[in-house]
Structure 1
């Protein structure tokens, strides 16, 4: 296809899906150089206001949601009259593809997928978004098995229990998966999504749908009135506890289903712990409306009666009443009956009607505080149900969600569900022992840990730079914000051998035995040492403790008048092999190693005022220039030891500043 670019940045590549009103493309975001999915409204609907509004509704619904199990929305726009939505690209099959290929799925796998769907929908419901089209086609699976719910094209925001957008009576959704109330044309709610989740779980475990038919209308009617085949009659491997979850989700009356998605997930999590339970008994369906016979008003023109002997009475009364008087009295009687019935109705309703109350907001309260508030507002203790689950939003023991939501107008006789936080969900610390420190950091961050640091430790067994251990240890279960400390190996510690006076070959062997590396070898004329002998080491002196593998430079005296170059495969003047030498000799004293010179510096604070003095001490030597050796404020006499490194042809300098003014400046000779 010809490459098409939207909004100046999204290059469409291939079609990866589509539906009745939109086509989905795989595309490249050229600005961020990442693969995305672009959903474009079909051209024939671009001029249809209803379809454009529905397309915008999908973007608005998705934009309000941010959850690991919901496809992320990146951007929306219009290009050349074409509306599009840019979303996260999921490289994986739909759940429908998986069902077609290998259903019935193993029970643990089906339960895991369903729990992730519940997490996604619970997040949407928390934001007052009802999906209304939950089906395997709208559920994507990543390569790692993570669920991604997508297509909020017909989702709607809700206020209380009322759909707030236009066309509330439209029957939207996929007929095999939608709820009886949707089939009836009623308002969708949280309970509608729960019904659809039950259908999806039914299909995963049986490879069949609860209801099917020759036409959408016949399927919709079955949702309303028919009984489906129990899942265990199709697949006996399904535990009774799991079948019970499906049966409760698929109850035709919404109020008899689970109260919300978190309640569904709670049962899914424990279903395999206690599989042999009594079968769930579906409550009787009382939604069918009975036909009411209404008698006709008015009588026949002639009264029918019977005499005592069974003969017909005289059809002609002795005295005929005027017809209008009968009609008048009939009207008066009916009026009295209507007024009386109406008065009785309002009297009874006034006695039995329960006024609405505003649902209080108890999120963030402790369990006991929340119960106290609810009881004070008129809810009885027996109506308040609690359920515990992990939550990162609230501390342990506090309410993190409630049903009904705050501010909703409800009857104080209805049940209330409080969800109590057990704290953040704990995750397992991965085993990063033996990994390079950088790789260990990445592994921990990918698993959700955010507070990671490292400390250096000595280890003879673990190579330098690799992880020796972690604290908390591997496989521990902790919260994501728990500090993780990595112990990173510095290698084994060793002592610098005393190689002064040795030949280069002897010194090289001594360093090797101490697990140290031979660095630069400097061969210079140095009459103070025997010809061919080592007379200095740098940067460490004999006896210093250093990590194994540290590089040590050597200075070798050559007093025969010729300075020999020493390389990796050459022999030094003292005989032997200098296999690891990395540099050669100069014949000047310029290459002598720096000598250490220590100078004390004292600053006195005058007794008469005791005001603070800002002290800055700079030093210059063979290895640094104007380096700040001291920078601090003092209120009493203080002395510091300043170390300088000097060579025969270099001169050191110490400069002392007090409150920004130079007070001392003196040289230090080699």
Structure 2
């Protein structure tokens, strides 16, 4: 209690009820915790469920944030349920009782008199029911059950007694929420199915992974997506969970949860076992304990053969026996025959009942070679079944055998062993340089998941191409572990400045420094001075490095030669200059005689003048 209380106190998160202190008051252990005025998620479910999917996911988000922090710190809640989720009056969501369920389990799990299950049966994961062992995926299962309850207003598994509910957790899948609430998107059903998969290996590895999946689903809901086959496929368990319970031994549950059975319930389970066996002598129930009624039991009963009747002794007339006056030799012979028959029957019964059986030696934790040698030394055949991954057993070491060590097996029988492949690990593939879609497929093909995708500008990596991954390629990860991607957004866009009216040289220098490909054209302008930018294309917006920008630079106005109009009449001279684009002004020369002919001009004949400028003609 003290160890777990201290661990819980070290867990600081906005969505976790803080533990301030712990102590012992005259033998009474206590915790000083944060006070949260408000109500519980259970109260809200009673009042508002069934809830809209968006609201249920919004409530689940901070719960998973708290569990993510706990899982990262090595803590498992073990009692995730609506009663332990506090909804503060100010809108905060807080998860309570961190560390307490684990502390109790550490003291009581697997006692000498049987297992004790800690937690609320409606939210217990199958592995807690079966072997009492929990990890982060047990909390994920409970969170998935809570999501189902928020969506539908009811628990997925219900029964008249705790054992019935526990049995359903092990043998039945959590139903799809859309069975109760038609209209829910398929990817919401897939999210619930993934979180509540009976096989823990099919669930998200921890609350952080589930939180990422919840946010993906919430994003789809926020965008009004009614169906997303890719998202549904990503969330669906990768291996179908077995629904057929006909092949499952009922002992699988009842032997592992004895402490949640009352005496009367235990009797009913025993009756159920008996009826399930159907009187068959098959191998699955051959080790069940049977109750034998009073009366003698011969070896023939054990062997399944009808009882042998004793051979009757032959009878002889008494008178004939006396008249011979000699002992009969047939009597001892017949007695010997009867004894031999009885011994033979006994030996045969023993042989067919148990004599032809031997005990399977224990080979778990042996190497495959040692197991083969051990089985061969007692006349048994070694058969290697499908190997299996194990987080705790080294590769090449035997995990289990069928029959198990200590069980009966026919002489010269075959023992099938399962050899460990070691921890199940998948290598992060080389993703750099791949298109994003291809990288996602490669990650999924390795039984890993894409967690976050960051996007960054890069001048060299094209848009949509993976720049890096975290963890990097070559890293060995557990199945379902998240991989983060960094994907290029391509070159960063650059704002284009408008340099119209600026000197051409300075404008070209600035645009080149920004990375643009600058070109210039020249044209005359009557209004823009020579060497100044008349126009720019484009003159604004954004471009990428290397994109072209064109400048139009002024050459000033067009220059036209003033023609020689000496001795030309004023009217003809005016017409010629107007045709050339000049304006005409007349004035009398110093030698004006009133003749009306041109004697000189300003600018002078033969000089260049801007088109549109004024030419002054002097008359004589």
Q: TM-score, normalised by structure 1?
A: 0.41
> Could you say which structure has the greater relative contact order, defined with CA pairs below 8 angstroms and 6 or more residues apart?
2
Structure label with greater radius of gyration? 2
Q: TM-score, normalised by structure 2?
A: 0.44
Higher share in strand: 1
Higher share in helix: 2
